[in-house]
Amino acid sequence: MLKALSELFWTFAKVGVMTFGGGYAMLPILQREVVENKHWATDEELTDYFAIGQCTPGVIAVNTATFIGQKNQGIIGGIVATLGVVFPSLVIISILAGFISSFSHLPLVINAFAGIRVCVCILIFNAVVKLWKSAVTNRLGLVLFLVVALGSMLFHISPVLFVILAALLGILLVQFQGKEASGK
C-alpha cells in the first residue's frame, strides 16, 4: 500500500509541477498520466471527474486528483493524491512570492508570461478536443454541447447550474428517445 500511495503522490506531484496556467491547463497532463500512462481511470471516468470537479468547491485539478486517489486507494489515497498535486505549487509559489514583485515590471518577465498564456490556451484547447471525442459521441451529445455552449455564451450563469441543467436535459432526451423508439 505504501508503494501505491507513493506512486499516487509522485504522479500527481509531477502533474502539479509541470502545469502552468491553473486547473484547466492540467487537464491534458492529467489525461495522459491518469488514463494513458497509469490506467487509473478511463477517458469517460476522467470526463465525469472533470465535470464533478467543476461543480464542487475548489480547483478542478485538485478535485480530480482527490477523486482518482480515493478511487484507487480509498480516503488516504484521495488525501495523498491531493497533497501531491498541490505540493509543487506550494513550494514554487512560496519561492516566487519573495521575488515576483521585484521583477514583474521587467519586459523579459512580461513577455515570458505573455508567451506562457498563449501556450496555456493551446493546452486547454487540446484538452477540449480530447474531451469532445469521449463526450460528444452521438446526436444527443451534440445537442447538449450546443445548448450548453450557446447558453454559456449568452447568459452569465454558474457552471454548476449548467451541469445540473445538462444532466436534466440528458435524462429528458433519453426518456423522449426511449418513448419515441417504443412508439408511445
Per residue in 66-82, pLDDT (tens digit) is 999 999 999 999 999 99
d(C-alpha 159, C-alpha 57), whole Å: 11
Same-domain pairing of 177 and 123: no
Residue among 80, 61, 51, 53 nearest 22 (CA): 61
Same-domain pairing of 126 and 109: yes
Q: Which residues of the chain have pLDDT under 70?
A: 19-23, 179-184
Same-domain pairing of 124 and 142: no
Q: What is the largest CA-CA distance in the chain?
A: 71
Q: Whole-angstrom distance between the N-terminal and C-terminal Cα of the chain?
A: 53
Domain count, the chain: 2
| pTM tops 0.85 | no
Domain ends where: 131, 151, 166? Answer: 131
Same-domain pairing of 87 and 159: no
Same-domain pairing of 100 and 33: yes
C-alpha cell at 62: 485538485
Same-domain pairing of 17 and 103: yes
d(C-alpha 72, C-alpha 81), whole Å: 10
Structural domain harbouring 181: 136-184
Same-domain pairing of 143 and 124: no
Q: Which residue has the cell 468547491?
A: 57
pLDDT for the residue numbered 10 = 94
Angle between helices 43-55 and 159-182 (to 10 degrees): 130
d(C-alpha 184, C-alpha 179), whole Å: 5
